[in-house]
């Protein structure tokens, strides 16, 4: 089945990413937009764009009926869901199919099966994939939970069966806390996922989060594209991701990759997917869950494998075979991604909406700027805060880190606050550079940064005063003869002291 026109049921950088893949393949792209996104970048970049409702996502980007209607009106033959919004919604995939639209993602049955984390655990067990000790069915009652918890041992985690990504998780340190934690977890799960089912897992202390990218086509071919390390997180929001993981060697990669492929095959999975693992301090890995979507951090995998994941998603959805085997996937070098969010890391990480009055992205060799914004555009308070992803490649991890530090220093955003200063600080930190990535790295180094911020502000004020002084034509430097480079620079800068001569 040939795909000629794709409706992108998303916004921001990922919608832009999909438009680009479509254009490179000669496929027409259709954007959708809420009232807050009339002039958003994805709308300007797509071939066509359709309004789908008011700013709140529940009235626009989450409206299955309006998205399907827009796709039909535009004459699209396929729908790409991006990530977030309806990307892992089986009912959306079904609605697309019912309307004769190819859903660029896994079959609804696989989305549904992997959405239930206990069902995914049952598959992992059948396949002999190691996982954190715990239950493979939701806990039936408090009494049953008490017995099972004693077997698993404390501390343990209560997780929502339909949760994932850290939502609806609770740590239980001792038996005395179990009942209260169960009640809280159940009601949280019911509120967030419409289902109060929870399961138990032994607590893995200071784990790393390592995930395997997989691709599966409709002809039964399954390959993995290696891992991504996502341990630099804050409240389950990833800030920095990289591939390969500093803690994974080729033998471990082969074992994890094979485990990931076995799970995906057993689940009847097709398209791009991610199998998440926890890795403990002894480098044992444990299956966690399957994400049935393209992930935010997919570009690091693209840069080390040379495989365009969105192109592969579209080819797979069109029924084409992968055309290569596991042996053909050879990772090369190292890639790092930093998430540039419109958040104020010095102000409780609150969202920082507003107008981007000044913007200069990073560029240069082996630097990729997957941005969803432009200078002059508005950053809405209605959606997630991701503005752009800065991704770099280097021949090895050290080269990639040096390049990321360079690229972050080039990146300037004026008008909204961003995570850039924190990213720059982490990338410069000796623990990060040594590959000592723990969940707690961020908590440990943030106070250092907050301390230096007062001094940075003072320097900024002095610099601003001096700049104004110069602009008014007054000298700020001793009246020495300028060097030849000073004179050359000054000639190019009107208003600066050398410029008056």
Q: Which residues bind ligand MV4 (CB under 6 A)?
A: 132, 157, 165-166, 201-204, 207, 209, 231, 233, 236, 276, 278, 288, 439
Helix, strand, coil tally for the chain in percent (to 5): 40, 25, 35
Of 205, 226, 206, which is closest to residue 215 (Cα–Cα)? 226
Nearer to ligand MV4, 217 or 289 (CB): 289
Beta pairing, strands 285-291 & 334-341? unpaired
Q: How far is the CB of 134 from ligand MV4 (least distance, A)?
A: 7
Q: How far is the CB of 131 from ligand MV4 (least distance, A)?
A: 9
Residues near 452 by beta carbon (within 8 Å), at least 6 away in sequence: none
Nearer to ligand MV4, 152 or 391 (CB): 152
Nearer to ligand MV4, 209 or 368 (CB): 209
CB 238 within 8 A of CB 339: yes
Nearer to ligand MV4, 19 or 152 (CB): 152
Dihedrals phi, psi of 440, to nearest 5 degrees: -95, -5
Is 293 known to be catalytic? yes
Q: How far is the CB of 482 from ligand MV4 (least distance, A)?
A: 53
Measured CA to CA, the distance from residue 107 to residue 111 in angstroms comes to 6
Structure tokens at 222: 């399954």
Of 17, 59, 5, which is closest to residue 391 (Cα–Cα)? 17
| Catalytic position from the list 262, 293, 315, 368 | 293
Nearer to ligand MV4, 207 or 415 (CB): 207
Of 244, 256, 247, 250, which is closest to residue 396 (Cα–Cα)? 244
CB 123 within 8 A of CB 266: yes
Of 87, 76, 94, which is closest to residue 10 (Cα–Cα)? 87
Q: How far is the CB of 200 from ligand MV4 (least distance, A)?
A: 9
Residues near 171 by beta carbon (within 8 Å), at least 6 away in sequence: 155, 156, 157, 181, 203
CB 367 within 8 A of CB 407: yes
Q: How far is the CB of 442 from ligand MV4 (least distance, A)?
A: 10
CB 310 within 8 A of CB 17: yes
Nearer to ligand MV4, 77 or 201 (CB): 201
Q: How far is the CB of 285 from ligand MV4 (least distance, A)?
A: 12
Of 480, 474, 346, which is closest to residue 418 (Cα–Cα)? 346
Measured CA to CA, the distance from residue 288 to residue 123 in angstroms comes to 12
Measured CA to CA, the distance from residue 362 to residue 89 in angstroms comes to 35
Q: DSSP code of 204?
A: P
Nearer to ligand MV4, 68 or 145 (CB): 145
Q: In what order do the strands lie in the sheet with 167-172?
A: 167-172, 156-164, 198-202
- H-assigned helices in 116-207: 117-126, 142-152, 178-193
Nearer to ligand MV4, 16 or 422 (CB): 422
Measured CA to CA, the distance from residue 74 to residue 50 in angstroms comes to 8
Q: How far is the CB of 166 from ligand MV4 (least distance, A)?
A: 4
Q: How far is the CB of 102 from ligand MV4 (least distance, A)?
A: 30
Catalytic residues: 293
């Amino acid at each position: 089945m040939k795909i000629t026109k794709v409706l992108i049921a998303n916004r921001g950088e990922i919608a832009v990413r999909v438009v680009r893949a479509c254009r490179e393949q000669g496929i027409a792209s259709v954007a959708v937009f809420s009232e807050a996104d009339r002039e958003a970048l994805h709308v300007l970049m797509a071939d066509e764009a359709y309004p789908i409702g008011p700013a709140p996502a529940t009235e626009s980007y989450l409206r299955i009926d309006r998205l399907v209607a827009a796709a039909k009106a535009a004459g699209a033959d396929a729908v790409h869901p991006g990530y977030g919004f309806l990307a892992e919604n089986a009912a959306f995939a079904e609605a697309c199919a019912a309307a004769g639209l190819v859903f660029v993602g896994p079959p609804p049955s696989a989305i549904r099966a992997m959405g239930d984390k206990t069902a995914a655990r049952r598959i992992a067990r059948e396949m002999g994939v190691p996982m954190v000790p715990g239950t493979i069915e939701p806990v039936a009652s408090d009494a049953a939970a008490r017995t099972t918890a004693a077997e698993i041992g404390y501390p343990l985690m209560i997780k929502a069966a339909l949760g994932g990504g850290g939502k609806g998780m609770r740590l239980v340190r001792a038996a005395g806390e179990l009942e209260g934690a169960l009640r809280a977890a159940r009601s949280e799960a019911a509120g967030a996922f419409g289902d109060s089912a929870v399961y138990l897992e032994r607590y893995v202390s200071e784990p790393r989060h390592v995930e395997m990218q997989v691709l599966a086509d409709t002809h039964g071919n399954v390959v993995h594209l290696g891992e991504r390390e996502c341990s630099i997180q804050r409240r389950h929001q990833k800030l920095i991701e990289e591939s390969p993981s500093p803690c994974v060697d080729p033998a471990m990669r082969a074992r994890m990759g094979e485990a990931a492929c076995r799970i995906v095959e057993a689940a009847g999975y097709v398209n791009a997917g991610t199998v998440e693992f926890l890795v403990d301090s002894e480098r044992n890995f444990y299956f966690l869950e399957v994400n049935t979507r393209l992930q935010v951090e997919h570009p690091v995998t693209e840069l080390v494998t040379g495989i365009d994941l969105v192109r592969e998603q579209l080819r797979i959805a069109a029924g084409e075979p992968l055309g290569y085997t596991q042996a053909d996937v050879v990772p090369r070098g190292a890639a790092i991604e930093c998430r540039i969010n419109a958040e104020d890391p010095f102000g409780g990480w609150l969202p920082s909406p507003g107008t981007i009055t000044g913007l200069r992205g990073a560029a240069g060799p082996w630097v990729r700027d997957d941005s969803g914004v432009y200078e002059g555009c508005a950053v809405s308070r209605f959606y997630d805060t991701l503005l752009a992803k800065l991704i770099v490649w280097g021949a090895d991890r050290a080269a990639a880190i040096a390049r990321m530090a360079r690229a972050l220093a080039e990146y300037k955003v004026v008008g909204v606050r961003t995570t850039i200063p924190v990213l720059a600080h982490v990338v410069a930190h000796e623990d990060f550079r040594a590959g000592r990535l723990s969940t707690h790295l961020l908590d440990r180094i943030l106070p250092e940064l907050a301390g230096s911020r007062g001094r940075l502000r003072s320097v900024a004020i002095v610099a601003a005063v001096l700049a104004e002084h110069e602009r008014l034509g007054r000298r700020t430097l001793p009246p020495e003869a300028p060097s030849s480079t000073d004179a050359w620079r000054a000639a190019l800068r009107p208003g600066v002291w050398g410029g008056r001569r």
